[in-house]
């Protein structure tokens, strides 16, 4: 008997209407290993549409302000009714919505309200597929401060799912010991999927969405960028952190700890193999040395000069202590012979900028301190970029040819990323130039 388990998560656009539900049925039917299905709440059907979770949060906001929330609740009702009509399913929608309406009218709770999109979607999906419905309130365990209890969740999800032949579990939420509902961050159904995959020791975690995988660059900047067929967890985490958003980064973390491969797929193009994310690439996979390029605007650089920073007198440690006391995170810190460079997000730096500079001056007595804002940080990511080729050199050459100022460069010994600081007004040019350079590297390596 084949005991393979595939946990299959469908995102908001994949459950947006009845047509999408029917595509899911086909996908699930096609592979019996897809035993555990995780769903988001219906997302946007067209640009300008509203996600069900947003409508629910709008209900909550009004209810909390003691305003009339019925118009938004009617929109939620209409979304689900449209799905039920399209699928011709008998489902007690009114009864289910009554409990929500009652809670909104009497004692509105934000997380409970937000979670009802996933709850209803999963119940309807379970009925439509003929699978068992699993409410994560029974098995995704939060403590009373709203933190996930990982150990307990692992045990209870395993105990709830494994005895079942097939099940649909709602994404995005769980409950504490008192039964109170807690949600993850927005986009958190990915986390539920990953928890289910880890708890059941699945062979694969599929994440079905509306794109054919991870792009090698931001499609809002680069025209029709390539999708990457394979990448490592480390590469994905960097690309996601730096702005490529397909999968919640916490979801990647738990799957990578258990070494469960993740496959990003497109519900609207099920024939496309999508992107596979795993620890090591399978042998024989031809891969561009640069996996992808991503970045963030809104960065500042602080440059501190002091003769012999690196002489062991603890100058750098003092600098990091100042940041730690202020709980101010930084993107990276580079120390040189006579200098320290810190890259910090503007939005975090701005509120404490003057105080911080003053503290550095008085505590460290530097020879020079400078600050430059309006920068972007770009990550050129690729496990093979430094090992196999001169890819990073080519990238830097290309930026120079385009006359794009390179304000900082950092390539740690981990050799995963080349981080480049460029002026914010050249960010898009830089991304395009690096992507272009990546494409020439692909041609060379074939
Ligand atoms: N429905 C939630 C959201 O819109 C969670 C999710 O889709 O993953 O953020």
pLDDT in tens, 239-272: 877 666 778 877 788 899 999 999 999 999 999 9
Phi, psi of 9 (to 5 degrees): -110, 135
DSSP 268: T
Terminal Cα-to-Cα distance of the chain (whole angstroms): 41
- 40 Cβ contact list (under 8 Å, min separation 6): 9, 10, 11, 12, 14, 15, 117, 118, 121, 171, 172, 189
Q: How far is the CA of 162 from the centre of ligand 1 (A)?
A: 25
Do 126 and 165 meet the contact criterion of CB atoms below 8 Å apart? no
Q: In whole angstroms, what is the distance from residue 368 CA to residue 360 CA?
A: 11
pTM (two decimals):
0.87
Is 445's pLDDT higher than 60? no
Q: Taking a C-beta distance cutoff of 8 angstroms, is the pair 254, 247 a contact?
A: no
Name the band, by pLDDT with cuts 50, 70 and 90, for residue 341. Answer: very high
Per-residue pLDDT reduced to its tens digit, 263-305: 999 999 999 999 999 998 877 777 888 999 999 999 999 999 9
Task: Report whether pLDDT(326) > 80.
Answer: yes
pLDDT value at position 389? Answer: 62
Q: What is the mean pLDDT of residues 23-45?
A: 98
Q: Using one digit for the tens of pLDDT, what is the confidence trace for 414-429?
A: 778 899 999 999 999 9
Look at residue 341 and give its three-state secondary structure.
strand
Q: Are strands 408-410 and 332-335 parallel, antiparallel or unpaired?
A: unpaired
Percent of the chain with pLDDT over 90: 79
Listed by start position, the domains of the chain span: 6-210
Which ligand 1 atom sits closest to the C-alpha of 43? 4
Ligand 1 atom at minimal distance to the Cα of residue 172: 5
Report CA(280)–ligand 1 centroid distance (Å). 30
Given pLDDT bands bounded at 50, 70 and 90, which one contains residue 238? confident
For the CA atoms of the chain, what is the radius of gyration?
A: 25
Structure tokens at 226: 């390539």
What residues are paired with 265 via a beta bridge? 208
State how far the alpha carbon of 148 is from the alpha carbons of 175, 177, 250, in Å: 9, 12, 12
What's the CA angle centered on 212, arms 211 and 217, to 5 degrees?
Answer: 80
Model pLDDT, residue 413: 76
92 burial level (CB within 10 Å; 0-12, 13-18, 19+): exposed
| Alpha-carbon distance values, 397 to 47, 377, 439 (Å) | 39, 17, 15
| DSSP letter (8 states) at residue 44 | -
N residues, the chain: 446
Residue 391 confidence (pLDDT): 86
How many whole angstroms separate alpha carbon 27 and alpha carbon 248? 23
pLDDT above 70 as % of the chain: 96
Q: Which residue has the CA at smallest separation from atom 6 of ligand 1?
A: 187
Q: Which atom of ligand 1 is nearest to the CA of 117?
A: 1
14 close to ligand 1 (CB < 6 Angstrom)? no
Q: How confident is the model at residue 446 (pLDDT cuts 50, 70, 90)?
A: very low
Mean pLDDT, range 36-56, rounded to an integer: 97
Structure confidence at residue 402 as a pLDDT band (50, 70, 90)? very high
Residue range 174-193: mean pLDDT, rounded = 95
Q: Could you tell me if the CB of 188 is within 6 A of ligand 1?
A: yes
Confidence of residue 364 (pLDDT cuts 50, 70, 90): confident
Rounded CA-CA distance 155/152 in Å is 5
The candidate with the shortest Cα–Cα distance to 431, out of 235, 243, 212, is 243
Is the pLDDT at 406 greater than 90? The verdict is yes
Architecture of domain 6-210 in CATH?
A: 3-Layer(aba) Sandwich (3.40)
pLDDT, residue 387, reads 64
Q: Which of 49, 76, 118, 207 to mutate to test the pocket of ligand 1 (most atoms within 8 A of CB)?
A: 118
Residue nearest to atom 9 of ligand 1 (CA): 186
* Euclidean distance between CA atoms 67 and 135, whole angstroms: 30
pLDDT of residue 67: 97
How far is Cα of residue 33 from the mean position of the Cα atoms in its chain? 25
Mean pLDDT of the region 148-171: 97
Residue 388 is predicted with a pLDDT of 58
C-beta of 316 in contact with ligand 1 (< 6 A): no
- Which region among 65-69, 200-204, 385-389 has the lowest average model confidence (pLDDT)? 385-389
Query: Which numbered atom of ligand 1 lies nearest the CA of 12?
Result: 7
Q: Mean pLDDT across the stretch 179-190?
A: 95
Gap between the Cα atoms of 398 and 372, Å rounded: 24
Tell whether ligand 1 has an atom less than 6 A from the beta carbon of residue 53: yes
Average pLDDT of the chain is 92
């Amino acid at each position: 008997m084949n005991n393979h388990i595939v946990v299959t998560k469908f995102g908001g656009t994949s459950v947006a209407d009845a047509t999408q539900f029917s595509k899911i049925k086909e996908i699930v039917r096609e592979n019996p290993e897809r035993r555990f299905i995780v769903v988001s709440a219906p997302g946007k059907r067209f640009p300008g549409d509203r996600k069900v979770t947003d409508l629910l949060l709008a209900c909550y906001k009004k209810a909390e302000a003691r305003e009339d929330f019925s118009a938004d609740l009617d929109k939620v009702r209409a979304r689900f009714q449209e799905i039920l009509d399209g699928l011709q399913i008998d489902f007690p929608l009114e009864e289910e919505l009554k409990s929500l309406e009652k809670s909104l009218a009497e004692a509105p709770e934000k997380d409970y309200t937000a979670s009802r999109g996933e709850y209803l979607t999963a119940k309807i999906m379970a009925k439509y597929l003929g699978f068992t419905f699993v409410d994560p309130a029974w098995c995704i365990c939060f403590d009373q401060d709203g933190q996930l209890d990982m150990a307990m969740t692992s045990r209870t999800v395993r105990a709830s799912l494994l005895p079942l032949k097939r099940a649909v579990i709602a994404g995005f939420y769980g409950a504490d010991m008192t039964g109170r509902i807690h949600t993850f961050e927005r986009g958190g159904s990915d986390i539920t999927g990953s928890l289910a995959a880890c708890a059941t020791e699945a062979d694969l975690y599929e994440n079905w969405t509306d794109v054919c995988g991870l792009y090698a660059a931001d499609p809002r900047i680069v025209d029709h960028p390539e999708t990457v067929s394979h990448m490592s967890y480390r590469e994905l985490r960097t690309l996601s952190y730096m702005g490529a958003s397909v999968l919640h980064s916490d979801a990647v973390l738990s799957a990578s700890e258990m070494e469960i491969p993740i496959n990003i797929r497109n519900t609207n193009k099920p024939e496309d193999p999508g992107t596979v994310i795993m620890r090591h690439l399978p042998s024989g996979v031809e891969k561009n040395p640069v996996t992808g390029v991503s970045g963030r605007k809104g960065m500042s650089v602080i440059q501190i000069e002091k003769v012999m920073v690196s002489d062991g007198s603890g100058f750098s440690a003092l600098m990091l202590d100042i940041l730690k006391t202020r709980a101010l995170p930084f993107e990276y810190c580079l120390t040189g012979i006579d200098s320290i460079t810190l890259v910090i997000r503007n939005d975090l730096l701005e509120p404490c900028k003057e105080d911080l500079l003053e503290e550095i001056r008085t505590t460290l007595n530097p020879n020079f301190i400078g600050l430059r804002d309006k920068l972007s940080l770009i990550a050129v990511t690729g496990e093979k970029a430094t090992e196999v080729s001169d890819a990073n050199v080519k990238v830097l050459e290309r930026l120079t040819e385009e006359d794009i100022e390179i304000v900082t460069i950092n390539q740690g010994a981990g050799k995963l990323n080349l981080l480049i600081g460029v002026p914010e007004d050249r960010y898009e040019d830089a991304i395009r130039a690096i992507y272009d350079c990546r494409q020439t590297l692909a041609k060379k390596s074939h």
